């Protein structure tokens, strides 16, 4: 009998869903809200150091069950905080154990996710001395062998490389207590079903099996029935998708993390907000960004759970009376915030849960007023942005970060507007003595000098360097009907072109086809996990009875061929070569 439990939807990954009031609800920073979940002190200390104040809905719902050792089937989209939901209970298993054999194993679909998840484990388990080893294709296996030989608590890897290590004897399974399948639906789409089942069947004893998936197709339920025992079902329910009754202009800028502070400053310089609320994930990020924006000339204030109520009240007073123009805050600290002067909301990162986006941008555009919602997205956050678009049922415009020329033009426009406003003032005659003192100078040069003084005193400083434009990395995928093989003949394949390769397409001939049980997902999975290519860069694909033809960026053809020669697809070593007519 399966246990069914739906997660609460509070419309915010760090919010308790309470109705907003005009006064800011007090937050008591004395105890981290994660403590109520029963986590050990070392983990609570790590979370506190990272500035994480309150669990997300998926974390609140899953962690207690996982700490009790129950199998779990969780449905949650990417970016809802599910990594911590399984990482914290897995780290709890260490309990002073020496790093010898792995006690927990996490299976993920791609090398990028393997790195992200292992980094999260390291951050959360640092005070425990957790030994985490990521294993994936595209990295020399001897490094992974050395890391595993030195001892490990947690292994995070792609199915193909995990099977390689099991076969070599470098990853013994007799100490495994927990297995996590993260992004299970994507792993199945990439053709890893057989590998996953082989791994689960190779574990020689009963263990805890945890499965997370954004969707629940029949194949997921089939795996759950075969490999889980009385699993708890968790589903973070989607709530109200109504973003705002007002007029909110929504846009996103694609920015590498190291350029985010400069990009935010430049965007705000051009937007000239009346009052802006910038959301960050952690207290540390709030403090650092507040300092950066103050150095840029903004009157910025920080707001997070590490501040006492008196400090919070002072910050809110400055924001309401206009002394502060920029408030940098965490979700939980901004709970209940209602300020009429806000014109802009900025997501410094794509929100962890789509509902958070809806809740955040609802703070502007109220009562018919116009507002602006800005999101700074890294290229890897494309899926999270797509999840938000599905929830709000509209596209978020991807815009280019303003260039130095754009900023200079906007600042000059602002100066023109300010001078025109000054021309309408009633007290211009008071400044005749200054003009008379400058008699003999050209009136035009006097005017230009006065404008220059005003322009500089207004704080109009232009950055010296342009911020790299990487907005093309978030462009919507076009239709794939125009893909052709060498010689101009169209490929009518099983899978459309990736559409984001950004250059000529080369083709690879793989001597395995439908007779060997090959599907498009098998080929995409093999290439993505043995190279640095991502799924959208692979295609078109055509599969015949005896062979397959796969398109990849032409610059990557030789590298992909070398990688495929060193791996197996559906348990077979393929003959691979460049495809030509």
For residue 22, the model assigns a pLDDT of: 34
Cβ–Cβ < 8 Å for 285, 316: no
Are 148 and 44 members of one domain? yes
Q: Is residue 146 part of a domain?
A: yes
- Do 487 and 375 lie in one domain? The reply is no
pLDDT band at 68 (very low <50, low <70, confident <90, very high): very high
Both tokens of residue 228?
A: 């889980």
Tokens of 122: 């390291």
Residue 307, token pair as written in the block: 């501040």
**297 or 266, higher pLDDT:** 266
Indicate yes or no: pTM above 0.75: no
CATH of the domain at 84: 3.40.50.300
Task: Clarify whether residues 158 and 216 are in a common domain.
Answer: yes
One domain for residues 89 and 146: yes
* 501, pLDDT greater than 50: no
Identify whether residues 224 and 146 lie together within a single domain.
Answer: yes
In this prediction, residue 132 carries a pLDDT of: 96
What CATH number corresponds to the domain at position 530? 3.30.70.330
Confidence of residue 486 (pLDDT cuts 50, 70, 90): very low
Range of weakest confidence among 11-20, 137-146, 240-249, 290-299: 11-20
Number of domains within the chain: 4
- For residue 229, the enclosing domain spans 31-236
Mean pLDDT of 391-400: 88
Q: Tell me whether residue 4 is in a domain.
A: no
491 — pLDDT class (breaks 50, 70, 90): very low
**pLDDT beyond 70 at 272:** yes
**What is the pLDDT at residue 202?**
94
Say whether both 223 and 280 belong to one domain.
Answer: no
Can you give the pLDDT at residue 502? 52
Radius of gyration of the chain (CA): 28
Q: What is the pLDDT of residue 488?
A: 39
- 515 located within any domain: yes
Average pLDDT over the chain reads 80
79 pLDDT band (50/70/90 cuts)?
Answer: low
Between 126 and 113, where is the model more confident?
Answer: 126
User: Is 394 in the same domain as 252?
Assistant: yes
Least confident of 31-40, 311-320, 427-436, 451-460: 451-460
Among 109-118, 157-166, 180-189, 451-460, the range scoring the smallest mean pLDDT is 451-460
Query: Does the pLDDT of residue 17 top 60, yes or no?
Result: no
Does residue 95 fall inside a structural domain? yes
Same domain, 64 and 205: yes
CA distance 360 to 58: 19
218 and 254 belong to one structural domain: no
Do the domain assignments include residue 23? Answer: no
- Condensed to tens digits (0 to 9), the pLDDT of residues 205-234 reads 999 999 998 778 888 888 999 999 999 999
In this structure, is residue 16 part of a structural domain? no
261 or 333: which leads in pLDDT: 261
216 and 79 within one domain: yes
Closest by alpha carbon to 484, among 561, 564, 549, 556? 549
Q: Report if residue 282 sits inside a domain.
A: yes
Across 33-49, average pLDDT: 89
Are 565 and 485 found together in one domain? yes
| pLDDT at position 465 | 64
Q: How wide is the angle at C-alpha 129 spanned by C-alphas 126 and 134, nearest 5°?
A: 75
Q: Is the dihedral of CA 388, 391, 392, 396 positive or negative?
A: positive
Kindly state whether residue 492 falls inside one of the protein's structural domains. yes
For residues 190 and 525, give the distance between their C-alpha atoms in angstroms, rounded to a whole number: 5
Q: Which residues pair with 388 in a beta bridge?
A: none
Region of residue 245 (phi > 0: left; psi between -120 and 50: alpha; otherwise: beta): alpha
- Same domain as 300, residue 378: yes
Per-residue pLDDT tens over the stretch 313-331: 788 788 777 788 899 988 7
Asked if residues 230 and 200 have their Cβ atoms less than 8 Å apart, the reply is: no
Which has the minimum average pLDDT: 141-155, 314-328, 468-482?
Answer: 468-482
Is the pLDDT at 8 greater than 60? The verdict is: no
Question: What pLDDT was estimated at residue 346?
Answer: 94
């Amino acid at each position: 009998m399966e246990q069914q439990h739906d997660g609460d939807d509070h419309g915010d990954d760090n919010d308790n869903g309470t109705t907003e009031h005009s006064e800011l609800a007090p937050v008591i920073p004395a105890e981290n809200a994660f403590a109520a979940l029963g986590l050990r002190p070392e983990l609570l200390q790590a979370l506190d150091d990272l500035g994480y104040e309150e669990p997300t809905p998926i974390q609140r719902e899953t962690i207690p069950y996982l700490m009790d050792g129950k199998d779990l089937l969780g449905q949650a989209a990417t970016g809802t905080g599910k990594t911590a939901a399984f990482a914290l209970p897995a780290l709890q298993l260490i309990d002073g154990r020496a790093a010898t054999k792995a006690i927990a194993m996490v299976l993920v679909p791609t090398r990028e996710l393997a790195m992200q998840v292992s980094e999260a484990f390291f951050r959360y388990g640092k005070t425990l001395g957790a030994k985490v080893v990521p294993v994936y294709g595209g990295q020399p296996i001897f490094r992974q062998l050395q890391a595993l030989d030195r001892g490990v608590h947690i292994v995070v890897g792609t199915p193909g490389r995990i099977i390689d290590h099991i076969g070599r004897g470098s990853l013994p399974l007799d100490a495994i207590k927990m297995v996590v399948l993260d992004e299970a639906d994507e792993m199945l789409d990439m053709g890893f079903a057989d590998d996953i089942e082989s791994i689960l069947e190779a574990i020689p004893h009963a263990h805890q099996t945890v499965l997370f998936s954004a969707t629940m197709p029949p194949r997921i339920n089939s795996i759950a029935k075969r490999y889980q025992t009385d699993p708890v079902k968790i589903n973070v329910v989607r709530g109200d998708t109504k973003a705002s009754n007002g007029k909110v202009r929504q846009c996103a800028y694609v920015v590498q993390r190291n350029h985010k502070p400069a990009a935010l400053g430049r965007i705000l310089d051009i937007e000239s907000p009346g009052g802006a609320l910038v959301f960050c994930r952690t207290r540390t990020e709030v403090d650092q960004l507040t300092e950066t924006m103050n150095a840029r000339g903004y009157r910025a204030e920080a707001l997070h759970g590490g501040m006492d109520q008196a400090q919070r009240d002072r910050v809110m007073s400055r924001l309401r009376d206009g002394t502060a123009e920029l408030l940098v805050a965490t979700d939980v600290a901004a709970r209940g915030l209602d300020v009429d002067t806000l014109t802009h909301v900025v997501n410094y990162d794509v929100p962890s849960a789509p509902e958070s986006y809806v809740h955040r941008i609802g703070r502007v555009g109220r009562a018919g007023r116009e507002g602006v919602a800005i999101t700074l997205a890294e290229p890897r956050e494309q899926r999270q942005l797509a999840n938000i678009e599905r929830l709000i049922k509209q596209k978020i415009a991807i815009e280019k970060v303003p260039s130095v020329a754009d900023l200079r033009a906007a600042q000059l426009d602002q100066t023109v507007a300010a001078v025109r406003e000054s021309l309408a003032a009633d007290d211009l005659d008071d400044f005749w003595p200054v003009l008379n003192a400058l008699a003999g100078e050209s009136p035009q040069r006097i005017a230009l000098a006065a404008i220059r003084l005003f322009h500089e005193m207004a704080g109009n400083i232009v950055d010296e360097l342009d911020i790299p434009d990487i907005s093309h990395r978030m462009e919507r995928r076009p239709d794939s009907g125009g893909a052709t093989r060498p010689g101009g003949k169209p490929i009518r394949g099983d899978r459309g072109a990736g559409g984001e390769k950004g250059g000529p397409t080369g083709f690879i001939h793989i001597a395995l086809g439908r007779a060997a049980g090959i599907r498009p997902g098998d080929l995409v999975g093999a290439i993505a996990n043995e190279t640095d290519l991502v799924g959208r860069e692979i295609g078109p694909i055509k599969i015949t009875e005896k062979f397959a033809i796969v398109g990849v960026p032409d610059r990557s053809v030789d590298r992909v061929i070398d990688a495929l020669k060193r791996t197996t697809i559906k348990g077979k070593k393929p003959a691979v070569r460049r495809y030509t007519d």
